[in-house]
Amino acid sequence: MVPPVVVSPLIKTTRWSALLLGMIYGRQRFNYLKPIAEEERRIEEAEKAAREEQERIYKQLSEANADTILK
């Protein structure tokens, strides 16, 4: 087998510090995006309830209007 290569210290430090920086960046971005996503979900729920209400009213009205004796 080929003997393992001795890696220069510069490459080693840059690699592992890049890993560390990446972990920190990922964690911070996740913490930043999490409340925004929760807020969006909450707004979506509220709007969905309002929309369903509108659709229910519309359906009831259309059923009432379509109810004629000329069927």
Partner 1 sequence: MAQAAQKLVAKVPKLVGAAVTYTKPRLATFWYYARVELVPPTPSEIPKAIDSASGLIKSYQAGRLGQTTVKDALRNGLVATEVLMWFYIGECIGKGGIVGYNV
Q: Rounded to an integer, what distance in angstroms lies between the CA atom of residue 56 and that of residue 29? A: 40
Least spacing, CB of residue 38 vs partner 1, in Å = 8
Least spacing, CB of residue 43 vs partner 1, in Å = 14
Least spacing, CB of residue 30 vs partner 1, in Å = 5
| Contact set with partner 1 (CB under 8 A) | 1, 4-16, 18-30, 33-34, 36-38
CB atoms within 10 A of CB 61: 10
User: 9 vs 70, which CB is nearer to partner 1?
Assistant: 9
Start-to-end CA span in the chain (Å): 88
